[in-house]
Amino acid sequence: MLERFNKAAKRQVHSLQEFFVLGGKSIGFAFSRPFYGGDLVQQMEAIGVQSLSIVLLTGFFTGMVLALQASVQLKTFGATMLIGRFVSASMIRELGPLLAGLMVAGRVGSGIAAQLGSMRVTEQIDALNTLGTDPIRKLVTPRVLATLIMLPTLTVINDFAGILGGSVIAWAYVKIPVALYWRTVWEQIAAGGFIFRYIPNDFVHGLVKPFVFGGIIAVVACNFGLKTSGGTEGVGVATTRTVVTSSILILMTDYFITQLLLAFLGS
């Protein structure tokens, strides 16, 4: 039993090493020629624009649920006017980045793994090597960069949609004036403190996390996609492993990033 545990631990460490090596290579290729700008724009459209609807819906209804639950709990203390602060803090600091990351991991991560896996089993990646084109530079770097750019953008949209959804519930069910709701939202952002006097700490929390999550999703998906074997069945396995692994890593790193930011920013 101990031997099986050691083997499993070694496999996990080896997988982490592969993720870091692949991520390092893909970022390094971004600063040297040739550049594949067309591929980058195409991936940004596929990752960002095509994920917009699911992110908007997720954020909007999450904000509505938060406001509804908060209204019930805060009513006990006669503090329903603080719904805006509750929704703002929850969405910007935690739920916005986390939900956007998980949605993108499910939609984009699985898609990347399936694309690269199909290319691997049909020997298209071997053909790129034969033509003297580095598959990592051509296939991985544009996807990693596009995810690093678009996931923070989607997170901002998700945050706004969530706060907007909360305002609908606050106005329709709790009868809080819209102006008062948005004022309490800003009060919560200001209460979190500022870094360099002008950047709210809440924004730092809300943008650092999706940047890291984006790197995790892209690198994990590309790694499993490039390692695909076993035909079409292997593509399905790679897709499943991508979604599961990236989701677990997102949840784990979310905790550690939160701890680091709280220690560094103090709030």
Cβ neighbours of 106 (radius 10 Å): 17
Q: Enumerate residues 6+ apart whose C-beta is below 8 A from 48.
A: 146, 149, 150, 153, 154
Amino acid, single-letter form, for residue 193: G
Residue 252, token pair as written in the block: 């784990």
Distance CA 101, CA 249 (A): 11
What per-residue confidence (pLDDT) applies to 247? 94
Q: Which residues pair with 200 in a beta bridge?
A: 194
- Cα(241)–Cα(223) distance, rounded to whole angstroms? 11
d(CA 163, CA 188): 12
Q: Is 101 exposed, middle or buried (0-12, 13-18, 19+ CB in 10 A)?
A: buried
Q: How much is the pLDDT for 267? A: 66
pLDDT score at 7: 66
Write out pLDDT tens, residues 155-189.
Answer: 999 999 999 999 999 998 888 889 999 998 998 88
Answer yes or no: are the C-beta atoms of 137 and 71 closer than 8 Å.
no
Q: What's the whole-model pTM score? A: 0.89
* Separation CA 220–CA 109 (nearest Å): 8
pLDDT at site 3? 67
Cis amide leading into 152 (omega within 30): no
Q: pLDDT under 70 in the chain at which residues? A: 1-3, 5-9, 266-267
Q: pLDDT of 80-113, one tens digit each?
A: 888 989 999 899 999 999 999 999 999 999 999 9
Return d(Cα 255, Cα 112) in angstroms, integer: 26
DSSP 34: P
Q: Which helix (H) or strand (E) holds 200?
A: strand 199-200
Beta bridge partners of 195: 199
One-letter amino acid identity for 157?
A: I
Burial 48-60 (b: 16+ CB within 10 A, else e): beebeebbbebbb
User: What's the pLDDT at 195?
Assistant: 78
